Amino acid sequence: MAPVLLIPAIVVALYILIYYNFIQGRQCKSEQRLRGRTVIVTGGNVGIGKMTALDMAKRGARVILACRNKETAEAAAHDIRRLSGNNEVLFMKLDLASIASIRSFCKTFLDSEPRLDILINNAGLTAKGKTEDGFNMVFGVNHLGHFLLTHLLLDRLKQCTPSRIVVLASNAHKMGRINFKNLNPAGETWLEIFRTYSDSKLANVLFARELANRLQGTEVTCYAVHPGVVHTNLGRNFPSWLQVPLFPFLWLFLRTSMDGAQTSIYCSVEEDIEQYSGRYFNNCRVEQVPPHARDDAVAKKLWEVSEDLLGLNK
């Protein structure tokens, strides 16, 4: 009987060794408190966003969960209040696939909340189709939605300096390309969706870079982050034939949402990283990106094109 039990024990021990040494990643060690500060986390109802919001609440911040789904967001807010002992956690409706919803959220927030100290642009998706305003769903939510949200909240961030903006990017940016002739693909095939996802993550990295250039001297800093390969609901729109065979792999060999949140948390609270504003962080460390992800000319043009697409120049 003993040899039979020994085999699974060895397998479990080996898995623990692999996870904590090769999968988990570095942890944010900062003990910074955030009492009196306000944090917005987009997509704070599930996955990395929820774990990031939980950490912010444990540090004493007032946390706004900016989410599309009211039911899951209110449940998440309840969980976070219970786990953190912080009652200043609330839901505000935000649909990043709708310009009208983004503007409505910002008006509600600015009318009711006097502070904004940390904006965490966490939400993201892979999905077919178009946004309410006719943009490719992936590019529209992952880049354009957060671009507009940040634009509308920037003055409040400037009033509450030192303040920070954290943009959830991905190592997928390495495969991305910004094709200004085709920023709005149909997004109907999964191959096209995966390509557009990589493009949107490159846009996140370039956005943080150009934003940092424009914010020099304001004491508002921004950071693009890679959460690692995390088991979240990002693939919730994948076809079932793809989800079923992937599930065991995802469950065993991907980071948990809490581990995936560590670099977002680090860039939100770590002291003395202001000199790295606009840079890309992975595993709680600044990391060099490929040349096409640090092209200032492309970053500037993407900013200007984004303004035009969103009607910000009118």
pLDDT for 9: 57
Across 173-199, average pLDDT: 92
What total number of domains does the chain contain? Answer: 1
Q: Would you place residue 252 in the very low, low, confident or very high pLDDT band (cuts 50, 70, 90)? A: low
pLDDT digits (tens, 9 = 90+) for 266-294: 999 999 999 999 999 999 999 999 999 99
What pLDDT score does 2 carry?
Answer: 59
Q: Has residue 148 been placed in a domain?
A: yes
Q: Answer yes or no: is 16 within a domain.
A: no
Return the H-helix or E-strand segment holding 91: strand 89-93
Tokens of 137: 């769903």
Q: What are phi and psi of 164, to 5 degrees?
A: -140, 150
pLDDT at position 4: 61
The pLDDT, as a whole number, for residue 24 is 53
Please, which pLDDT band fits residue 190 given cuts at 50, 70 and 90? confident
Confidence check: pLDDT of 239 > 60: no
- Cα 21 to Cα 18, 123, 227, 266, 313, distances in angstroms: 5, 28, 16, 19, 49
What integer pLDDT is reported at residue 186 of this predicted model?
84
Name the residues annotated as catalytic.
Answer: 197
pLDDT at 16: 55
Unique residue bearing structure tokens 């003395």: 272
Residue 248 above 90 pLDDT? Answer: no
- Is residue 161 in some structural domain? yes
What pLDDT is recorded for position 171? 95
Question: Around Cβ 87, how many Cβ atoms within 10 Å?
Answer: 11
State pLDDT tens for residues 127-148.
999 999 999 999 999 999 999 9
Residue 105 lies in a domain: yes
- Domain span at residue 107 reads 27-309
Relative orientation angle of helices 47-58 and 70-84, to the nearest 10 degrees: 40
User: In the prediction, which pLDDT does 187 show?
Assistant: 79
| Range with the poorest average pLDDT among 59-68, 153-162, 176-185, 303-312 | 176-185
Average pLDDT, the chain: 90
- On the 0-12 / 13-18 / 19+ scale of CB atoms within 10 A, 250 is middle
Q: Does any domain span residue 57?
A: yes
Considering the domain boundaries, does residue 69 fall inside one? yes
**Domain CATH code at residue 248:** 3.40.50.720
Residues 40-67 have pLDDT tens digits of 999 999 999 999 999 999 999 999 999 9
| pLDDT at residue 6, rounded to an integer | 67
- Mean pLDDT to the nearest integer, 106-110: 98
Residue 246 confidence (pLDDT): 53
Q: Which among 221, 205, 216, 126 has a CA at the least distance from the CA of 168?
A: 205
Q: What is the mean pLDDT of residues 138-164?
A: 98
What's the pLDDT score for residue 245? 57
**Residue 189 confidence class, pLDDT cut points 50, 70, 90:** confident
Residue 167 located in a structural domain? yes
Answer yes or no: is pLDDT of 238 > 60: no
Residue 10 lies in a domain: no
